[in-house]
């Protein structure tokens, strides 16, 4: 039976793609194709960028207060439709409904932050920078911005981007992951219902063809990306070579350092959620525990006991802790990593391979997996697995733990579990990672702080949301003013003006 085909969203309405190429959107809990998504062509991207370009002058000149009122209405609609968006995210991604609702909420909080646009967009002013001379700066929008997003947060990650760009007076073309396109299309409809003028926000689902069209389009001024590290690097280099401003967030291998004085039940509970929530498909998932001194034995025993109690099943079933992973291909890749861990000599404490969920035999399930005695030369340490696989490395001291974390090329998030203020203070000071938790397992900053990693987890200079998001989507202009009647100083000299 043919499946419904999703539209593109261009200039405030659903339109059909002209590409003739379609991809299946699958429910990972059943393995069934639920709908199809067009893979936008270069011509589709051109029409979306043209709509965004045409909408820009009027939107740029709309006062920040008016923009903020539309964003506030959008926030209200998102709150009302949170269950619907969570259901779409869960259906296409596989995560539990409760987890999906939480991630939608974190996205809504970014919209809430942008409601303060009139305040956030204020520049600086200084009187008398010279005699009779004043200076002020303005934050101005940059034009058409593009966003390219991953499969693992169908609503939240797009909301790290487009509400901020639009609050700043830009227009936007979003290319969501072709695996989870429905939330983005629904959010576009809700934004229109909130009063957003046509063309300000456009959605073009697609693959590499659509991405490449955006990266090289002369009318796209800035590109925001979230996804895996190799693609992030490609996006950064390609978009920058076309003269665009870029922020490209990549993959992760997040370590939790557990000190011998850490309260172990609290720590084990925290690590369970961080490792296995969303089946480990979170950029801030804790995938690696670094157990210091004699913390390891007791901690591993507690993790094993908890992992064995997790309920695995479809994300929309009550009582389920962990849903499937995104695709059959990804499941097989994760299983391949588990095989390699065994072959390379790690101790497999809990094995998630071969799990069957009754009634969902075709779903893409991997059970919670725990490895102990992992070393840094093993593939399961070196690569991002992005699945429900937690590995434990053992070290002798905090020094060794810090040096191990700092030697890893990824640097998105990390956490330390300890009751020692001194150890925590040293850790936060010396660790070379963008987001740090102290007894907090997934330290995702709130919308009014910025989100971003270091090293191979982010290419570019500015993080997402918070003030860094505002700076990314604006250009600063500094204006120096002198009025002849209040300043009698002559300016006929050829010498560099010092104003004073």
Q: Applying CB under 6 A, which residues contact ligand NAD? A: 148-153, 157, 175, 177-178, 207-208, 211, 226-228, 231, 234, 249-252, 283, 384, 386, 412, 453, 457
Contact 410, 228 (CB under 8 A): no
Chain-centroid distance of CA 27 in Å reads: 22
Strand partners, 173: 146, 202
Q: Respond yes or no: is residue 168 known to be catalytic.
A: no
Chain-centroid distance of CA 312 in Å reads: 25
Contact 469, 463 (CB under 8 A): yes
Return the number of the residue (150 or 368) whose C-beta is nearest ligand NAD: 150
Return the number of the residue (64 or 460) whose C-beta is nearest ligand NAD: 460
Residue of 457, 119, 129 lying closest to 284 (CA atoms): 457
Give the separation between CA 454 and CA 257, rounded to whole angstroms: 18
Query: How many C-beta atoms lie closer than 10 Å to residue 23's C-beta?
Result: 17
Q: How far is the CB of 163 from ligand NAD (least distance, A)?
A: 17
Contact 320, 311 (CB under 8 A): yes
Residue listed under structure tokens 């202009």? 477
Q: How far is the CB of 407 from ligand NAD (least distance, A)?
A: 19
Return the number of the residue (68 or 224) whose C-beta is nearest ligand NAD: 224
Q: Is 393 exposed, middle or buried (0-12, 13-18, 19+ CB in 10 A)?
A: buried
Q: How far is the CB of 39 from ligand NAD (least distance, A)?
A: 9
Which residue number places its CB atom closest to ligand NAD? Answer: 227
Q: How far is the CB of 384 from ligand NAD (least distance, A)?
A: 5
Return the number of the residue (208 or 356) whose C-beta is nearest ligand NAD: 208
Q: How far is the CB of 131 from ligand NAD (least distance, A)?
A: 49
Return the number of the residue (381 or 386) whose C-beta is nearest ligand NAD: 386
Return the number of the residue (191 or 386) whose C-beta is nearest ligand NAD: 386
Return the number of the residue (74 or 153) whose C-beta is nearest ligand NAD: 153
Q: Report in angstroms the alpha-carbon separations of 244 from 63, 77, 220.
A: 26, 33, 7
Q: Report in angstroms the alpha-carbon separations of 356 from 57, 97, 348, 364, 493.
A: 55, 21, 19, 9, 83
Cα angle value 190/193/194 (rounded, 5°): 90
Q: How far is the CB of 86 from ligand NAD (least distance, A)?
A: 18
Residue of 133, 151, 143 lying closest to 171 (CA atoms): 143
Residue 342 has which token pair? 């065994």
Residue of 6, 1, 4 lying closest to 38 (CA atoms): 6
Q: How far is the CB of 33 from ligand NAD (least distance, A)?
A: 18
Return the number of the residue (6 or 231) whose C-beta is nearest ligand NAD: 231
Catalytic residue selected from 145, 168, 183, 283: 283
CA atoms within 13 A on the CB side of 50: 6
Q: How far is the CB of 428 from ligand NAD (least distance, A)?
A: 20
In sequence order, what DSSP letters do the residues of 401-462 get, joined into one string? HHHHHHHSSEESEEEEE-S-HHHHHHHHHH---SEEEES-SS----TTS-B--EETTEEES-
Residues annotated as catalytic are 283
């Amino acid at each position: 039976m043919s499946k419904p085909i999703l539209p593109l969203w261009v200039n405030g309405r659903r339109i059909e793609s002209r590409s003739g190429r379609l991809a299946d959107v699958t429910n990972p809990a059943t393995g069934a194709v639920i709908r199809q998504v067009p893979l936008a062509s270069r011509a589709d991207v051109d029409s979306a960028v043209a709509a965004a370009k045409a909408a820009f002058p009027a939107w740029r000149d709309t006062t920040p207060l008016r923009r903020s009122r539309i964003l506030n209405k959008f926030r209200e609609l998102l709150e009302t439709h949170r269950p619907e968006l969570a259901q779409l995210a869960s259906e296409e991604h596989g995560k539990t409904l409760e987890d999906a609702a939480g991630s939608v909420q974190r996205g809504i909080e970014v919209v809430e932050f942008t409601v303060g646009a009139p305040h956030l967009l204020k520049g600086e002013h200084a009187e008398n920078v010279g005699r009779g001379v004043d200076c002020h700066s303005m934050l101005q929008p940059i034009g058409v911005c593009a966003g390219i997003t991953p499969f693992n947060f169908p609503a939240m990650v797009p909301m790290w981007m487009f509400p901020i760009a639009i609050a700043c007076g830009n227009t936007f073309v979003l290319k969501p992951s072709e695996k989870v396109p429905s939330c983005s299309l629904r959010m576009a409809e809700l934004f229109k219902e909130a009063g957003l003028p046509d063309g300000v926000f456009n959605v073009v689902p697609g693959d590499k063809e659509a991405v490449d069209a955006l990266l090289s389009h002369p009318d796209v001024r800035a590109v925001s990306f979230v996804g895996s590290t190799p693609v992030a690097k490609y996006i950064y280099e390609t978009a920058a070579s076309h003269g665009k401003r870029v922020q490209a967030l990549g993959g992760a291998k997040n370590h939790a350092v557990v000190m011998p004085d850490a309260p172990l039940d609290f720590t084990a509970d925290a690590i369970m959620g961080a490792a296995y929530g969303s089946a480990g498909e979170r950029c801030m998932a804790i995938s690696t525990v670094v157990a210091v001194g004699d913390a390891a034995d007791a901690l591993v025993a507690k993790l094993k006991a908890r992992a064995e109690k997790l309920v695995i099943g479809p994300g929309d079933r009550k009582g389920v802790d962990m849903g499937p992973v995104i695709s059959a291909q990804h499941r097989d890749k994760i299983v391949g990593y588990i095989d390699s861990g065994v072959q390379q000599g790690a101790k497999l404490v809990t094995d998630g391979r071969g799990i069957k969920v009754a009634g969902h035999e075709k779903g893409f399930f991997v059970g919670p997996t725990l490895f102990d005695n992992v070393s840094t030369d093993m593939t399961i340490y070196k690569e991002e697995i992005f699945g429900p696989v937690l590995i434990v490395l053992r070290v002798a001291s905090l020094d060794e733990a810090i040096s191990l974390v700092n030697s890893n090329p990824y640097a998105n998030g990390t956490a330390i579990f300890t009751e020692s203020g001194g150890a925590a203070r040293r850790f936060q000071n010396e660790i070379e990672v963008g987001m740090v938790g102290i007894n907090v397992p997934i330290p995702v900053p709130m919308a009014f702080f910025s989100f971003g990693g270091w090293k191979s987890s982010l290419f570019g200079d500015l993080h997402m949301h918070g003030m860094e998001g505002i700076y990314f989507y604006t250009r600063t202009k500094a204006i120096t003013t002198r009025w002849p009647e209040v300043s009698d100083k002559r300016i006929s000299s050829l010498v560099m003006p010092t104003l004073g």
